[in-house]
Chains A and B, each alone.
Chain A
Amino acid sequence: MSFFQVTAELMDGFWLTCRLFAETLLYSLPLGLLISFGLLSNFRPLRGVMNVVVWAIRGTPLMLLLFIVFYVPGFAFGVTLDRYPAALLAFVVNYACYFAVIFKGGIQSVPVGQTEAGQVLGMRGGQVFGRVVLFQVFRNILAPVSNEVITLVKDTALARTISVLEIMFMANQLLTTKALVWPLFYTALFYLLFIGVLTLLFQFLEKKVSYYKV
């Protein structure tokens, strides 16, 4: 197999890696925000349930979650999820819990005086959150979120454990079917380029939101 044929094969897998990454972010960020509201709720039962969920997800390996989501519905209810949706569901739930804890910390890091200032100016709760708190939260959490996002790129390789055809799966397949080892190492270039672009993007965002000091 030529270099170009291998690259084309890996590009197919890389496309799925990118898709899994993007869709995970798309769903896990808002879900994480919702879970963080639960973690901060004054309603104790909700806060308790959310804490248990986050503890369970953060306390178990993502690989195990992938197996649970993919195999358990089949064993328990006779319903089998396709590989990609199963992987996506596991990734979304897992990352939403991590993001929720980051969001919770971010919200708590905004001084309560900011909310009170909004209240005395006659703002509704949603306006205070949207206009005053959210931007400050975004600024405070950018660095930890960038860490999670970069970890997510690398974690997508775990999807191959349930045979999702992402880039590592494709490289492994070349190893087992064509006895080619080098494509396995070649995948590092794809990850490095992808993470390089993300790093630049986060640096740009950090610069954008650093126009003021607290």
Chain B
Amino acid sequence: MSFLSVEHVYKDFGATEVLRDVSFSAERGTITAIIGASGAGKTTLLRCLNFLELPDQGTIHLNGKCIWQAGVHYTKAELRELRLNFGLVFQSFNLFPQYTALQNVRMPLQLQWKEKLKAQRLSFGAYQAEKKRRLAESTAAAEAMLRQVGLGEKLHAYPCELSGGQCQRLAIARALILEPSVLCFDEPTSALDPALTGEVLRVIRSLCSEERAMIVVTHDMDFAARVADRVVLMEDGRVKDEGTPELLKTVFQSGGEL
């Protein structure tokens, strides 16, 4: 079975059918590009993977385990746990403007361990000592992550002080800090200057490792062909075709367009 397997997913918004019987899979250490014209359902599919929208039908398997099945009631806490399997880099980054780069990346870690610490019901002294230790740990981890994406010099900069490319790298660092099994990108090139496409490509490729699968939603065919190992072509809420980037050439050669 594939590392990530999405099977027969449907999603409606009222009378509008956005996703219809969508199935695809992604492997660890690979980048899967989901391509299609505007309104094809790409972003909704990505939102379903991150449980920002809940599919009406279908199942999602991760690492051989069924993590989501439509019809089963999931509590808010369960959904929160499920979301931690996936990281998402938003199209408009959605960085927290009031926090520095370091705080943006460190906060998710901090909140995770704070919750665990509270559950341990330690004495006040022990709690403070543990908190100090973990804060130092998460600061070091966030700094290392920011250095990995080339923002080592911008640790204390606010998002408004960063360029578009730097904001995107910050968003990537924030998404990666919780070590998700699947890292998703929503239109990574659309909010950036076209000259930065090469940099985005390099960063995304450099993050490709055996630890995770990566999914990139884009309508930029050229970018998809250069970044992806596999391509899923969507049209009107359905998967029209799936294959290697060579598929894109076939689509164009046969007169197809997005």
Binds B, one of A46-54, A118-126, A190-198: A118-126
Whether the Cβ atoms of A121 and B52 lie closer than 8 Å is no
Whether the Cβ atoms of A116 and B160 lie closer than 8 Å is no
Whether the Cβ atoms of B88 and A120 lie closer than 8 Å is yes
Question: What is the number of residues of chain B that contact chain A, defined by CB distance less than 8 Å?
Answer: 27
Known: A212-B158, A212-B159, A214-B160. A120 touches B97 (CB 8 A): no
Question: What is the number of residues of chain A that contact chain B, defined by CB distance less than 8 Å?
Answer: 22
CA distance A135 to B99 in the complex (A): 10
CA distance A114 to B52 in the complex (A): 12
A117 at the interface (CB under 8 A from B): yes
Known: A119-B52, A213-B160. A124 touches B97 (CB 8 A): no
Q: How far is the CB of A115 from chain B (nearest CB, A)?
A: 9
CA distance A214 to B99 in the complex (A): 11
Q: Which residues from chain B contact A135 at a C-beta distance below 8 Å?
A: 98
Known: A116-B52, A211-B158, A212-B160. A122 touches B80 (CB 8 A): yes
CA distance A206 to B87 in the complex (A): 35
Whether the Cβ atoms of B86 and A120 lie closer than 8 Å is yes
Q: Which residues from chain B contact A123 at a C-beta distance below 8 Å?
A: 80, 108, 111
Whether the Cβ atoms of A119 and B94 lie closer than 8 Å is no
CA distance A125 to B178 in the complex (A): 18
Whether the Cβ atoms of A131 and B107 lie closer than 8 Å is yes
Known: A131-B107, A136-B98. A120 touches B52 (CB 8 A): yes
CA distance A59 to B112 in the complex (A): 46
Interface residues of B in 149-191 (CB under 8 A from A): 158-160, 174-175, 178
Interface residues of A in 86-126 (CB under 8 A from B): 111, 113-114, 116-117, 119-125
B131 at the interface (CB under 8 A from A): no
The interface bits of chain B over 71-90 (1 if a CB of A lies within 8 angstroms of the residue's CB, else 0) are: 00000100011011011101
Q: Which residues from chain A contact B160 at a C-beta distance below 8 Å?
A: 212-214
Q: Chain B contact residues: over half helix, strand or loop, or mixed?
A: mixed
B50, B92, B97, B158: most-surrounded residue (chain A CB, <10 A): B97
A132 at the interface (CB under 8 A from B): yes
CA distance A34 to B175 in the complex (A): 32
Q: Which residues from chain B contact A124 at a C-beta distance below 8 Å?
A: 76, 80
Closest to B47 in A: A116
Q: How far is the CB of A102 from chain B (nearest CB, A)?
A: 19
Of B83, B111, B178, the residue contacting A131 (CB under 8 A) is: B111
Closest to A118 in B: B96
CA distance A146 to B41 in the complex (A): 45
A111, A120, A132, A136: most-surrounded residue (chain B CB, <10 A): A120
Q: How far is the CB of B115 from chain A (nearest CB, A)?
A: 8
A127 at the interface (CB under 8 A from B): yes
Whether the Cβ atoms of A122 and B112 lie closer than 8 Å is yes
CA distance A116 to B93 in the complex (A): 11
Interface residues of B in 104-138 (CB under 8 A from A): 107-108, 111-112
Whether the Cβ atoms of B76 and A125 lie closer than 8 Å is yes
The interface bits of chain A over 198-214 (1 if a CB of B lies within 8 angstroms of the residue's CB, else 0) are: 00000000000001111
B95 at the interface (CB under 8 A from A): yes
Q: Which residues from chain A contact B76 at a C-beta distance below 8 Å?
A: 124-125
Q: How far is the CB of B53 from chain A (nearest CB, A)?
A: 10
Closest 5 A/B residue pairs (Cβ):
A117-B94, A213-B160, A113-B94, A121-B108, A212-B158
Q: Could you jot down 17 A-B contacts, CB within 8 Å?
A: A113-B90, A116-B94, A117-B90, A120-B86, A121-B174, A122-B80, A122-B83, A122-B112, A123-B111, A124-B76, A127-B111, A131-B107, A212-B98, A212-B159, A213-B160, A214-B97, A214-B160
Q: What is the interface of chain B, defined by CB distance below 8 A to chain A?
A: 50, 52, 76, 80-81, 83-84, 86-88, 90, 92, 94-98, 107-108, 111-112, 158-160, 174-175, 178
Given contacts A117-B94, A135-B98, could you give 6 more A-B pairs where the C-beta distance is less than 8 Å? Answer: A113-B94, A116-B94, A117-B96, A120-B87, A123-B108, A124-B80
